[in-house]
Amino acid sequence: AQSVAQPEDQVNVAEGNPLTVKCTYSVSGNPYLFWYVQYPNRGLQFLLKYITGDNLVKGSYGFEAEFNKSQTSFHLKKPSALVSDSALYFCAVRDESGGYQKVTFGTGTKLQVIP
């Protein structure tokens, strides 16, 4: 069975510092990995995805993520955090078995950027 783990419920970082939000996954086949963000009182928004190709994926708002197959990780990163980045971040994995899809989201990590 596939699974996604976000080991940190909350990450605090000072504005201007680099940030990392961690995600590890488990799937039976090749993973399709996604990051989504949920701002207060707003819906989930797509940030970036990894399907194949370069291990470093660039997305919206200056975010990027590094796919590491050996560590089964897909950590979200940003070189310099902004206060406006404060939100809830979800990692998700899509798997397919016999043409049947299943999507699993992590429990979310709350990012707090401190001015």
Partner 1 sequence: ETGVTQSPTHLIKTRGQQVTLRCSSQSGHNTVSWYQQALGQGPQFIFQYYREEENGRGNFPPRFSGLQFPNYSSELNVNALELDDSALYLCASSRGPDYEQYFGPGTRLTVT
Q: Indicate the residue among 5 and 82 with the shorter CB distance to partner 1.
A: 5
CA distance 108 to 5: 9
Q: Give me the least distance between CB of 114 and partner 1, in Å please.
A: 22
Q: Which of 95, 91, 114 is nearest to 103 (CA)?
A: 95
Residues of this chain that bind partner 1 (CB under 8 A)? 32, 34, 36, 43-46, 49, 51, 90, 94, 96, 99-108
Q: Give me the least distance between CB of 73 and partner 1, in Å please.
A: 17
Q: Indicate the residue among 99 and 115 with the shorter CB distance to partner 1.
A: 99
Q: Which of 49, 12, 45, 6 is nearest to 31 (CA)?
A: 49
Q: Give me the least distance between CB of 68 and partner 1, in Å please.
A: 21
Contact 45, 34 (CB under 8 A): no
